[in-house]
């Protein structure tokens, strides 16, 4: 009997309306996918007034993913915001005592 490992689903949707950059990751945010999220967040320009990360579709977040979010918050404290709710992300934020560090919309 052969068992197949199921590849986790991962996707990032980026929408730019000219003033706000919306980034929506779907799936597991971990050591393998965090660089892709960092690259998507890196599309922010001086012309954007806001960077909104929609987190509702995150199913898992590890410390590497949390570091990407913390870096974005540190680099863009006025423009970076989280939107939506993810049980996986909330758990990691609570464990790291970082829940209050992020602005929410």
More confident residue, 5 or 54: 54
Sign of CA dihedral 87, 67, 26, 99: positive
Q: pTM for the complete prediction?
A: 0.91
Q: What's the full length of the chain, in residues?
A: 105
- The domain segmentation of the chain, as residue ranges, is 10-101
Cα(43)–Cα(20) distance, integer angstroms: 11
Q: Which fold has domain 10-101?
A: Transcription Regulator spoIIAA (3.30.750)
pLDDT at 9: 85
Q: And the tokens for 79?
A: 């423009």
pLDDT in tens, 7-33: 668 999 999 999 999 999 999 999 999
Inter-residue contact 72 to 100 (CB < 8 Å): no
Grade residue 54 by pLDDT with cuts at 50, 70 and 90.
very high
């Amino acid at each position: 009997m052969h068992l197949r490992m199921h590849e986790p689903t991962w996707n990032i949707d980026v929408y730019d309306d000219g003033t706000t950059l919306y980034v929506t990751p779907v799936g597991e945010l971990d050591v393998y996918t965090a660089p892709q999220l960092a690259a998507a967040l890196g599309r922010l320009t001086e012309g954007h007034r806001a960077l909104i990360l929609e987190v509702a579709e995150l199913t898992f977040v590890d410390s590497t993913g949390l570091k990407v979010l913390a870096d974005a918050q540190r680099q863009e404290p006025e423009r970076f915001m989280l939107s939506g709710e993810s049980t996986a992300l909330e758990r990691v934020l609570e464990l790291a005592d970082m829940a209050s560090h992020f602005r929410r919309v």
